[in-house]
A and B are shown apart, each in its own frame.
Chain A
Amino acid sequence: MNLAIPTPGIRRRSVTGLWLRHAVSFVRYWKFIITWVLVEPVIILVAVGFGVGKLVHEVEGAPSYAEFMAPGLIMGNAMFHALFETSWNAYNRLDNDVYETALTTPITITEITMGDILWAVTRSVMTVVGTATVAAMFCWINHWEAIGILIPAIMVGTTFGALGFLFSAVAPHTTFLTLVFTLVASPMFFFSGSFFPISILPNWVEPIAWAMPLTSAVHIARGFALGHLAWSHLWAALYMVALTAVIWPVAIFLLKRRLIK
């Protein structure tokens, strides 16, 4: 029996154990979840790509509207997954004392957020790989550099995984979690440059749009998808990292307040 585990520091088994729990639960319900991972985004992709794409003939910096929109939509969808995992699903785990039970093993709150965010990243990557493959089949993604979309996929999973906890950790009831979607997800989905370039927005809206982390993710993903990367993509990545570095500790703090009484 090894009792020499110090209280600080990260215990790897806590993270993999929680991740495995999510994976096992996912496998049980995959038939339902897959509709969201793949079916729904593909429907939107096809509808917007073929529908709106027919009407829009010119879009800044991309050969076609579908090629412009695809990486944006893919990132927006990944955001929903990551947010849902740590807001809605995490709230249910709080409510059903699943974390309370986990805490009877040698796990810490920090490790709980790590395991859950790792799973949010997994979901984000899963849906990005699935939808990007479909987009590539339609020839809406044409560059080998597009493999790099995995980088913003991981970042979206991390940033929004951490962000979701800010809601679940303070939510008094499930209805409260509606705010995640009305205040965070929906505005970002539409104003982060997924469906139209931010530059066409009124001047005063533009900085607000850039402040949204999804905007950075979409920007990076588009750079990879269209095969031209610039310094601006690096700044966008650093912005997301910095934002996560602020949100994550707050999430840990709020969860501690809720769970350690």
Chain B
Amino acid sequence: MTNETQQKNDVVRNPDGSVIHVDNIRKLYGDFVAVDGISFAVQPGETYGLLGPNGAGKTTTMRMLSGLSPVNSGNIIVAGIDVVKDNRAVREVMGVVTQHDGLDNGLTVFQNLFLHGFLAGLSRKKSKARAHEVLEFFGLRDRSKSNVYELSGGMKRRLAIARSMMTTPAVIVMDEPSTGLDPQSRNRVWEELAILKEAGVTVLLSTHYMEEATILCDRLSIMDNGKILDEGTPDQMIERHAPKEVAQLRVDPASLRTVRDYLNVREMSFREVGALVSVTGVNGDRPDLSGLTDVEGVRSSYRSGNLEDVFLSITGRELRDE
């Protein structure tokens, strides 16, 4: 696997040096604007994230990029291919992991990979060899003869990612690679994606998990309502938009009113999720909660600002899973 994946840096670059170049694309469904004139570029070997809530336009963007959905206007160039003009050629060079695993229940694990590789253009011999390689890499070798419906959710997801690797693509587009997985499977997927990255594969992924974006992405865009609101490295985004420190208070219901009054009087901004109250100080500095230390039923801790705070600060809304 590694021998072949390491050739990835040979990817054809666009005239501007990028691998994916998206220029002002728009997508309309009737009157609804799903993607509203977004632009970004992904450099060779980079992992780039589109971070946003459900309905932000991430999936539509991914589908347009992989030539599965026509654009209403704008340009997309991937590895030197004009996707708007030639949506077939882009699917030759790009691996795609769709949001739903899209596994074939009529086939075994191995057959899913082998037949996908064959359909994508590999010879039968090459596709078989590659399927074995990919199964080995994703730790699915002993499941090779299993029916796909017998696999756990995490294994299905990894098989879907493995499938996108069949043609040894230099660019992979992944729509929410770890959505719906338990934390353990998610870590496993992240580890595997990290290895791909090391091998030089250019990855564009969408996610609504800020943790995923932080761990995997070199750069990312925050998307909402079909628009890109800001772009940068996770650190830059946090520096730009998130408070340096956020206080987190676990508050018993009986003390909730006291806490609210305290924060309101001092004009500190806060939000409540269940029994958890996150408090941001003035100018993003550590909020002064000394007055609350004696209140019964309040436990406080501090954490640094994260992408979740970035999203909140840019959009005024929470970036929640569902």
* Interface residues in chain A, defined as those with a beta carbon under 8 Å from any beta carbon in chain B: 1-7, 11, 13-14, 17-18, 20-21, 24-25, 28-29, 93, 96-98, 100-108, 260-261
- Assess whether B88 is in contact with A21, with CB atoms less than 8 Å apart: no
Question: Considering the complex, which residues of chain B in the window 297-314 have a beta carbon less than 8 Å from any beta carbon of chain A?
Answer: none
B254 to chain A, nearest CB (A): 50
Interchain nearest-CB distance for A260 vs B (Å): 6
B197 to chain A, nearest CB (A): 21
Q: Does B96 contact A (CB under 8 A)?
A: yes
Cβ-closest chain A residue relative to B123: A13
List chain B residues, Cβ under 8 A from A20: 115, 118
With contact pairs A3-B81, A14-B119, A107-B119 given, residues A261 and B93 touching in the complex (Cβ less than 8 Å): no
Closest to B148 in A: A96
A5 near B92: Cβ-Cβ < 8 Å: yes
Given contacts A7-B88, A96-B102, contact A105 B119 (CB under 8 A): yes
Partner of B96, one of A4, A14, A104, A107: A104
Max count, chain B CB within 10 A of own CB: residue among A102, A103, A106: A106
Q: A96-B105, A101-B163 are in contact. Are A106 and B116 (CB under 8 A)?
A: no
Within 8 Å by CB of B120, from A24, A25, A98, A106, lies: A106
User: Which residues from 82 to 123 on chain B have a C-beta closer than 8 Å to any C-beta of chain A?
Assistant: 85-89, 91-93, 95-96, 98, 100-108, 111, 115-116, 118-121
Contact, CB under 8 Å: B115 / A106: no
Complex contact B98–A17 (CB within 8 A): no
* Nearest B residue (CB) for A115: B119
Would you call B115 and A98 a contact (CB within 8 A)? no
- B164 close to chain A: CB less than 8 A: yes
Chain B nearest CB from A8 CB (Å) reads: 9
> Lowest 9 A-B CB distances belong to which pairs?
A17-B119, A97-B102, A101-B102, A104-B96, A25-B106, A105-B120, A106-B91, A106-B88, A21-B115
A3 / chain B contacts, CB cutoff of 8 Å = 80-81, 89, 92-93
| Chief secondary structure at chain A's binding surface | loop
Residue among B87, B88, B118, B119 having the largest count of chain A Cβ atoms under 10 Å:
B119
Listed A/B pairs (20) with beta-carbon separation below 8 Å: A2-B92, A7-B88, A14-B119, A17-B120, A25-B104, A25-B107, A28-B106, A96-B102, A97-B98, A97-B100, A100-B98, A101-B102, A101-B116, A103-B91, A104-B68, A104-B91, A104-B95, A104-B164, A105-B116, A260-B70
Enumerate chain A residues within 8 angstroms of B119, measured Cβ to Cβ: 13-14, 17-18, 21, 102, 105, 107
Contact partners of B80 in chain A: CB under 8 A? 3
Given A13-B119, A104-B68, A105-B121, A98:B89 Cβ within 8 A: no
Residue B63, interface by CB 8 Å: yes
Q: Looking across the interface, which residue of chain B has its beta carbon closest to that of A89?
A: B106
Tell me the complex Cα distance, A261–B70, Å.
8
Contacts of A108 in B (CB 8 A): 88
Cα distance A24–B110 in the bound complex, in angstroms? 12
Q: A96 to B147, alpha carbons, bound, how many Å?
A: 14
Q: Besides the contacts A3-B80, A96-B103, what 13 more A-B pairs have beta carbons closer than 8 Å?
A: A2-B92, A3-B81, A11-B88, A13-B118, A17-B119, A24-B107, A25-B104, A25-B106, A100-B102, A101-B98, A101-B103, A106-B91, A260-B69
